[in-house]
Structure 1
């Protein structure tokens, strides 16, 4: 649970957004003006501030960003705007906005953006108070760990930051690929520019071109105004293409041309525009295998894979687990709860196939169900066994129950999907991460199982 400030002058939108965020388990303070936002920030600390751009007929959201930087510099600001202006987006990011979302924004998209911002806050807080008292610059604040594996990663990322070449970050889900991308951006000559994350697995296939390149008004049904694409919005800064392996082939062709020529054309436009961007991509797939299968373009792979960086799995750097665990517990308990030494020792023995994301989820469960100021090993074993207990099946049990293997697998899949959706409050993106599958794969499984797959 986090403390969020929502600044939105339209009452209905304020109620809807507040409800959606509260259903995600957050505490929301909603206000309708810059003055109310300033009063709230003077009275209460917030983790994330969400503000509309246009209020009272002007770009009041930029004022909220400035006030937040002054009163609560540790908070992350998300800008909500129905006016897709590259100039405004760049100005907002330069003034301190963490990210921006274009209205209308889906509940899933908003929840995912808030989670990313909270994870960034947690990493920053944890690093500044990490054991050993080492002083680190802002570019290192989100990469916790002093294992040999993490030292090698930081060294590679520092070298990448000194160049302008594209970077391809690989690694399993939950290993911190976006944090690594932000590390490179913050340590690079483009650190004063914007960092624009694009989550390729969450963009519907038919909207890729419009989302990336933008469109002109009237270019297609529903294009009621000119829209700046995410590539153009990243001008002067860094474009982060997360889960690049999810990008459909037609979009790969257009992206390759944009990277080669540093020029783009909006959908429905007659002219091309120069773009000055640095691209960092990430994937949890084996892109070389995807190239062999024909699902990823070889020329795009080589264009992206100039500086390869592999994020190690958590089980490959077990010595970092105590530091990470302490940081997570300190963040979510606001420093009121600690982990016992036996508990830390036990954490280092667990496989954590979901990596840092699984570790954080496990510790959040423990915090939610404990009234003690110390989390002990008994609670850890109870929570972990509850999360990872699996039903046993045998050939004889299939015969006894009169079901086929396909029927049993289908029922098990549906049960797992139900559990993931319940755990994430219906958030499909997060549920896919919990299950270790792509967004599109989960949407397909939802439709196949007859579950509600229309949530966006």
Structure 2
């Protein structure tokens, strides 16, 4: 059964057509003009609009088509005309009509036309659903794997998506915490709302409150306009707080109030705004240890840790590396490149301390440097220096790799920098701290090695 709007200025014709459509099981609303039709379309949703072309001595049916395309973009519009011609058909189709019928129209002809229109709607809906499923599959690509740790993660994420509770995702850098958060969002009732990611480690402490909560005009120097914060931007959807352990204590207490009251006060404002937002947080820190040290509020930790999810490091699910590698290569090459079985086996032996992000970075470099498009062990060995215990670094190993000292040192330097950047999510300042060198020294080394971040 469909909801049909019938626009016909002749009362007898309108009554006969309505009766025929009712007998076919459809719900019909009738009117006599383009103006009435527009009012009905504003107030009610229709699957099919059936309109006469000539009404009140003019081609008012064209106005109905235009209004229908504006107000009911998913509806199918059928034109009835006693003045059929090629010009009429072309004009109607250009305006957005799905089909046209020549008057007088029989009940059977009308039934067939309506069924075809409804079938086209169903086909379009199926296509949209398939497109949405494909998009979700791409988003979830890096959560693939049949290892037990990943099965548990997917199960927990799906359960989390069925509720509106806060979620705290833990795990090392590069394990896919943001991807897990997006999976919860896209699988939940909030999928139609915004997903707003916030990297807490990338916001200067002095700007944190304004960025998160917004501000009123004149609240501080440079606040020239009222500005909603990121929390309000996520209204109706999900706010993802990445590396929430980096959040200053002064901001943590205000976030706690948002979680408790579902209200937010902008900087410099004397009133609060209601917000409907789900919060998902992620961290590579041990927040319970941070609570004991006094650097993270205990009450906020308990508010965030309602649904805990732990993302396993890649070394704990080595059996997933081949399928992950294939998926990454397929995604970045558009299906044009392949990985040899030997290459997949070799990849499965690497420690990947930077987890999936390190694997992806390595495969991207292989794709960029491969001349044939095929990725093999020779290219892999050229780009990846497997970590060696310090005691095993010797002249023998140098000669076995057929390298000189400068080449060996460059590979070691590149590997350590890659690992530091992977562990810190690309944060150069923190990576320099991990390596025990200055920020300027790391920038120099990045530039020398041609790595991202050296030319900023």
State the TM-score, normalized to the length of structure 1. 0.59
Aligned to 2:354: 354
Structure 1: distance between partners of 2:435 and 2:151: 41
Aligned to 2:430: 441
Q: 1:312 to 1:335 in 2, by over 3 A?
A: same
* 1:273-288 matched pairs, under 5 angstroms: 273-288=273-288
Structure 1: distance between partners of 2:262 and 2:428: 29
The question of 1:187 aligning with 2:197 is answered no
The question of 1:207 aligning with 2:207 is answered yes
Aligned to 2:331: 331
Aligned to 1:234: 234
CA contact 2:213–2:232 (8 Å) conserved in 1:
yes
The question of 1:377 aligning with 2:366 is answered no
Structure 1: distance between partners of 2:286 and 2:168: 12
Aligned to 1:12: none
Structure 1: distance between partners of 2:308 and 2:429: 26
Aligned to 2:146: 146
Look up the SS of the partner of 2:143 in the other structure.
coil
Q: Which runs of 5+ in 2 are unaligned?
A: 1-129, 394-408, 444-452
Q: 1:230 to 1:446 in 2, by over 3 A?
A: farther
Structure 2: distance between partners of 1:343 and 1:388: 17
Q: 1:319 to 1:451 in 2, by over 3 A?
A: same
Measured against aligned partners, the alpha-carbon deviations of 1:197-218 in whole angstroms (never above 9, x if no partner) come to 1110111111110000001111
CA contact 2:428–2:439 (8 Å) conserved in 1:
no
CA contact 1:175–1:312 (8 Å) conserved in 2:
yes
Look up the SS of the partner of 2:236 in the other structure.
coil
Measured against aligned partners, the alpha-carbon deviations of 1:16-35 in whole angstroms (never above 9, x if no partner) come to xxxxxxxxxxxxxxxxxxxx
Structure 2: distance between partners of 1:295 and 1:160: 27
Structure 1: distance between partners of 2:221 and 2:415: 35
Measured against aligned partners, the alpha-carbon deviations of 1:55-89 in whole angstroms (never above 9, x if no partner) come to xxxxxxxxxxxxxxxxxxxxxxxxxxxxxxxxxxx
Aligned to 2:440: 451
Look up the SS of the partner of 1:451 in the other structure.
helix
CA contact 2:241–2:279 (8 Å) conserved in 1:
yes
Aligned to 1:270: 270
Aligned to 1:255: 255
CA shift for structure 1 position 382: 2.3
Aligned to 1:297: 297
Q: 1:393 to 1:140 in 2, by over 3 A?
A: closer
Aligned to 2:163: 163
Q: 1:294 to 1:162 in 2, by over 3 A?
A: same
CA shift for structure 1 position 446: 11
Structure 1: distance between partners of 2:162 and 2:250: 32
Look up the SS of the partner of 2:440 in the other structure.
coil
CA shift for structure 1 position 241: 0.4
**Aligned pairs, number:** 298
Structure 2: distance between partners of 1:221 and 1:443: 33
Q: Which runs of 5+ in 1 are unaligned?
A: 1-123, 130-135, 395-411, 424-429
State the TM-score, normalized to the length of structure 2. 0.59
Report the structure number with the largest CA radius of gyration.
2
Q: 1:182 to 1:291 in 2, by over 3 A?
A: same
CA shift for structure 1 position 378: 2.1
Q: 1:416 to 1:246 in 2, by over 3 A?
A: farther
CA contact 2:174–2:423 (8 Å) conserved in 1:
no
Q: 1:280 to 1:128 in 2, by over 3 A?
A: same
Structure 1: distance between partners of 2:271 and 2:328: 49
RMSD over aligned Cα, in angstroms?
3.4
Structure 2: distance between partners of 1:139 and 1:444: 32
Structure 2: distance between partners of 1:372 and 1:453: 34
* 1:8-87 matched pairs, under 5 angstroms: none
CA shift for structure 1 position 443: 7.5
Measured against aligned partners, the alpha-carbon deviations of 1:78-135 in whole angstroms (never above 9, x if no partner) come to xxxxxxxxxxxxxxxxxxxxxxxxxxxxxxxxxxxxxxxxxxxxxx99x969xxxxxx
Look up the SS of the partner of 1:197 in the other structure.
strand
Q: 1:138 to 1:390 in 2, by over 3 A?
A: closer
CA shift for structure 1 position 433: 3.6
Aligned to 1:218: 218
CA contact 2:429–2:439 (8 Å) conserved in 1:
no
Q: 1:436 to 1:241 in 2, by over 3 A?
A: closer
CA shift for structure 1 position 453: 9.9
Structure 1: distance between partners of 2:208 and 2:414: 26
CA contact 1:139–1:186 (8 Å) conserved in 2:
no
Look up the SS of the partner of 1:181 in the other structure.
helix
CA shift for structure 1 position 260: 0.8
Structure 2: distance between partners of 1:311 and 1:383: 27
